[in-house]
Amino acid sequence: MKYVVVTGGVVSGLGKGVTASSIGVVLKACGLRVTTIKIDPYFNTDAGTISPFEHGEVFVLDDGGEVDLDLGNYERFLDIKLTRDNSITNGKIFHYVYEKERRGDYLGQTVQIIPHVTNAMQEWIERVAMIPVDGEVDPADVPKTKPTQHSVRDLRGSGLTPNIIVCRSIKELEKNAKEKLSLSGRVPVSNIFTLYDVSNIWRVPLLLRDQKAHDAILKVLNLESLVGEPNLEEWAARADLYGTLHETVRIAMVGKYTGVSDTYLSVLKALLHACIACGRKLIIDWVPSTDLEDSAATVAPDAYNAAWSLLRGADGVLVPGGFGDRGIEGKILAAKYARENDVPYLGICLGMQLAVVEFARHVLKLPGANSTEFDANTENPCVVIMPECSNEGMGGTMRRGSKRTFFKVADSKSAKLYGSVNHIDERYRHIFQVNPNMVQLFENSGLQFVATDETEERMEVQVETVKAFCAICWTNCCIVWATGSCAAKRG
């Protein structure tokens, strides 16, 4: 098995994850099977409790692992399904070593960074590299790892010399710039590549291919004779198609983390993929939910008017997941606006729960209707904590990972969008559910719950009404929006 280590200096957010993913795409296009491992320096056990303002989206894996958003890029680019062990943090490694010490695995030795922690990290990488992630039985040919962020100088100080340098820049590097990098980094000019700004993300693997980066990598790995030229026709077609899109669809993203788009990265990618499939150009209007609230009209009238103007101008409204009570009333107002004006609405996790709260307040006229997350003593608890979950503490308390949902209404809009199937598998990350004791009351008034989870006791995220609500997950729901009208409005 061959290993490609991708490491980068300076700051986060410059594209190291996309670079690593793109290298994987090119190697896969050459005929190799690829897996990937992300190594982060922080001491958190996982990304589950890290603020989205600081670290962006928490990406949820099939097995419930809460990981860095880069693993989402890896899965989308490489069409693979990773495990929680494909994400390594210092916290995980130290916890792993501590458990081994408690079991007596070190036979009374004094446990130290070298050799015990370093050995544990090597063992972890070698073990995870053997896990198939592409649906095949055998291990991959190349796993890619992305360790902590060191510069070339730090690498050389540790006795490591890079084989390839990939540079992020506004435009393609000129020859003299590459020669200077070659001299200082001790890397041949032919092994220095530029990932300059491009019109869309699908052009990044094409840049690597056009600069023959695969030849340099395969030569270092001694795999030149075993693979062919990369076949990236599908990638090129998608990149070209994106550039031709002109007819727009405008989506209002109503949330509390609107200043950090990486917080909702997977939702944005789903919308983008759906728009491409439907030939529409996506426009996202970021609407801070707090600016929709009545109090903002007095405190910040300009922000209030701007937020409502964006909401009223949208072709569809999306309220994503979130935590805490800040901005909750604004999200409820967004759901109310969508329902009353027949605007397609997608509520994901908390966004769906608040749509139910809105229906209870303004259609059923239930006084004080709320989620027990925000009002533990509400007389009409529309949304309650799931029996197997805990609201104590922060980490590992939620229902996470891939869960099977069964359609109980075969001809529902949701089932049809998924292809009239009996069930679907979607990834979840939540603690609360619609109150099962109130489901019949809601359905009698037109709010239909068309699917349940595998226990058939809890109502899950497939929700629709006779009017505007279309809470159908991910790309399928977005395809409805990209056509410019909701399935409910088309009958």
Q: What is the distance between the alpha carbons of residues 26 and 31, in angstroms, rounded to a whole number?
A: 9
245-472 is classed in which CATH architecture?
3-Layer(aba) Sandwich (3.40)
The tokens for 37 are 């491992």
pLDDT at 52 over 60: yes
Residues 430-475: tens digit of each pLDDT: 889 999 999 999 999 999 998 887 554 444 444 443 333 333 333 3
Radius of gyration of the chain (CA): 25
Phi/psi at 75 (5° precision)? -65, -45
Res 490: pLDDT: 27
Q: What is the distance between the alpha carbons of residues 463 and 447, in angstroms, rounded to a whole number?
A: 8
Domain boundaries in the chain? 4-232, 245-472
Statement: 4-232 belongs to CATH 3.30.70.260:
no
What average pLDDT score do residues 154-173 get?
A: 84
Q: What is the distance between the alpha carbons of residues 77 and 199, in angstroms, rounded to a whole number?
A: 17
pLDDT at 147 over 90: no
Res 123: pLDDT: 94
Q: What is the distance between the alpha carbons of residues 442 and 437, in angstroms, rounded to a whole number?
A: 10
Residues 374-421: tens digit of each pLDDT: 999 999 999 998 877 766 655 556 778 898 889 988 888 888 888 878
State the sign of the Cα–Cα–Cα–Cα dihedral 359, 362, 363, 366: positive
The tokens for 171 are 């435009």
Taking residue 210's Cβ as centre, other Cβ atoms within 10 Å add up to 11
pLDDT at 10 over 70: no
Among 150-159, 193-202, 265-274, 438-447, where is mean pLDDT lowest? 150-159
CB 284 within 8 A of CB 335: no
pLDDT at 265 over 80: yes
Are domains 4-232 and 245-472 of this chain identical in fold? yes
The tokens for 411 are 């001809």
Smallest CA-to-CA distance from 428 within 392, 465, 386 is with 386
The tokens for 7 are 């490491």
pTM (predicted TM-score): 0.82
**Helical segments of 30-63, H only:** 52-55
Beta strand 59-60 pairing with 66-67: antiparallel
